[in-house]
Amino acid sequence: MRMLINVPETVVADALRGIAVAHPELTVDVEHRVIMRKGAPYEGKVGLVSGGGSGHEPLHGGFVGLGMLTAACPGEVFTSPVPDQMVRAAAAVDSGAGVLFVVKNYTGDVLNFDMAAELAEDEGVQVAKVLVNDDVAVTDSLYTAGRRGTGATLFVEKIAGAAAEEGAPLDRVAAIAHRVNEMSRSFGVALSAVTTPAKGGPTFDLPDGELELGIGIHGEPGRERRAMMTSGEIADFAVDAVVEDLRPDAPVLLLVNGMGATPLLELYGFAAEVHRVLDERRVPVARTLVGNYVTSLDMAGASVTICQVDEELLRLWDAPVSTPALRWGC
């Protein structure tokens, strides 16, 4: 097993210790596994809390900071965080204005965040939730009832985070988060299998010369397996999948996301092909983001996420943000 780790059992704690030394602007509770924006809670501001299994970095800890999340709760690799983490985070960031939980649609995440919301409200914290379910590839997959939550999580956290930064009340922040999710669609492609530290080898079989269309971020099966395709052919397939489902009639935000092991050279080339296809479908692109943001450890591949925006959502997207993984306008 060729991994830059000590032992599988401590990989998450070791990473949290690294985040703490690299980002002193954050408060990292390694023992209780909570990453918070230093100085929280902020008077009069809604807190944003998200989380999920580790292995998808920079999601979610990399998005804690000005204009995005107030706290993140990392679970074990590909495993939901536990309710105690979320309750601790909610209590720590609540200023009295309430807390929004951003939850990707995976069964463990949904159950644990639901339980955490009940427990937090018992402690006097007002909680709203938004469920991210943007993946058009499949429904009712290995980890999920309904559609999976993937790349749109970044759009939800950024845009809702900007609204909270402006002092919007909880119901308004939640409504904006729901609108972003409703206007977003994603589709992912795997060129190689993913290797987890605990297993030490590929978690599924993907023969040389083949790819999986519609893969999930834990290696869940997609729509179909095919012989290797060119970047342009993959862009045609992925864009058709998201555009046919959303049918946008206004400009979109575009995320061309790497799954962890795809070089930026390839991602930028793929982004050019995605733009080509969107232009052919007469879908205007307002903003483009390219890079590794919602990953699957060492999986090679990419995902395409679009979000139809109006003037308000675009303004909130452009608002200043300063986190370890996303930064502009500051």
Query: Residue 212: beta bridge partners?
Result: 190, 225
CB atoms within 10 A of CB 283: 22
Tell me if residue 218 is catalytic.
yes
Give yes or no for a contact between 291 and 267, defined as CB atoms under 8 angstroms apart: yes
**Cα separations in angstroms, 190 against 24, 109, 140, 213:** 35, 23, 19, 7
Strand ranges for the chain from DSSP E:
26-29, 34-37, 47-54, 71-77, 99-104, 127-132, 184-190, 210-213, 224-227, 252-258, 285-291, 301-308, 321-322, 327-328
| Residue 235 DSSP SS3 | helix
Return the axis-axis angle of helices 170-182 and 311-318, rounded to nearest 10°. Answer: 100
| Residue 133 DSSP SS3 | coil
**Cα separations in angstroms, 275 against 144, 289, 297:** 30, 12, 26
Residue 31 burial by Cβ neighbours in a 10 Å radius (0-12, 13-18, 19+): exposed
Q: Which of 23, 32, 56, 275 is catalytic?
A: 56
β-strand 34-37 against 71-77: which pairing, if any? antiparallel
Q: Which of 23, 60, 178, 218 is catalytic?
A: 218
| Residue 97 DSSP SS3 | coil
Tell me if residue 56 is catalytic.
yes
Where in the sequence numbering do the catalytic residues fall?
56, 218
